[in-house]
Amino acid sequence: MASLKSGPHIGRMIPLSILDLAPVPEGSDVGQALANTIDLARHAERLGYSRYWLAEHHNMPGIASAATSVVIGAVAAATKTIRVGAGGVMLPNHAPLVIAEQFGTLNALHPGRIDLGLGRAPGSDQATARALRRTLQGDHDAFPQDVMELMQWFAPATPDQRIIANPGEGQAVPIWILGSSTYGAQLAAHLGLPYAFASHFAPGEMMRALDIYRQTFRPSPHLEKPYVMLGYNAFVAETDEAARLLFTSVQQAFVNLRTGRPGKLPPPVEGYYERLDGAARGMIDAALACSAVGAPATAKAALDAFIAQTDADELMLTSQIWDPAARVRSFELLAAATGVKRSD
């Protein structure tokens, strides 16, 4: 059975991890964004965060992690102990065998440190998904079969097996199911896998999905009991006002994305939220409801309340902050507020 161990703790002692979307700030470029990612990962390891995940997105000028397995390899090579993984790989874009080989290679290079989270969305628009050279199925019915096929590639080969994932075969790469609806919850429960919910941008069905996952979970060789990780936005600064200013970058990015104007991560803007119309405010409030924004004590109180509400086993924190130094500082302040001890 998989052992999911704790790292930094808050409230009732649950692990904290980091989801890095490898943001490309306005005025910067992809090369600097990836350097920022590696720098933050090193800080995350020093601070004691449990995992460092990267997500697959395509045709997004503000996100530098499209070649997700490549970036994971760079982060794993730049660190020593923190778990590194995908949060996630969008499996409809790939043949399961290719992902087995990629993550088998990563696990061979960094044994026991690689996670593989799987999502069923394309992580892009339909035209881009077609350009990725995968056959599109609008109802995504192939996702459960693809997940099971991928799991089989990681299993020990049988004597008569003609095709073997090498690297990949026989490697215990932990697989997670990701989701923003009840679909992933049902699949994760059926397969007995850990479940990560995208509450950091789509919290609407969070509580319903958690109930379904926990109530219908079937123990498996991979996991004995349900394990839930929830996405959560964290914007921490020395004062509540300073943190709210940092938060305006992701607010702008979200409005730009939803109105068909995706771009690089904008710098903070004083009074941005207050100048929005009611519809835009409502959209932001709904999408980014799962957020801790404030000074360390304010952020810790929000995290504690969220954990109490959801009974989460782990939080995956994301922080789309324009200034890379302020992003590092945000995670430092949060670690200190939650009692995480530095490893140095």
Phi-psi domain of 200 (left: phi exceeds 0; alpha: psi -120 through 50; beta: other) = alpha
Mean pLDDT computed over 160-178: 95
Give residue 4's pLDDT. 61
Where do the domains of the chain lie? 16-338
Determine the average pLDDT of the residues in 141-164: 94
Q: Give the percent of the chain with pLDDT over 70.
A: 90
Q: Which tens digits make up the pLDDT trace of 86-128? A: 999 999 889 999 999 999 999 999 999 999 999 987 655 677 7
Which pTM was predicted? Answer: 0.92
How confident is the model over 195-253, as pLDDT tens digits?
A: 999 999 999 999 999 999 999 999 999 999 999 999 999 999 999 999 999 999 999 99
Average pLDDT, the chain: 92
H or E, element range at 79: none
pLDDT of residue 330: 98
pLDDT at 5 over 90: no
Task: Give CATH superfamily name and number for 16-338.
Answer: Luciferase-like domain (3.20.20.30)
Cα–Cα nearest to 182, from 169, 170, 168, 197? 197
pLDDT of residue 187: 97
The pLDDT assigned to 128 comes to 73
* Integer Cα distance of 63 and 84 in angstroms: 18
For residue 270, pLDDT over 50 is answered with yes
The answer to whether residue 19 scores a pLDDT higher than 50 is yes
What is the per-residue burial (b if ≥16 Cβ within 10 Å, else e) of 32-58? ebbebbbebbbbbbbbbbbbbbbbbbb
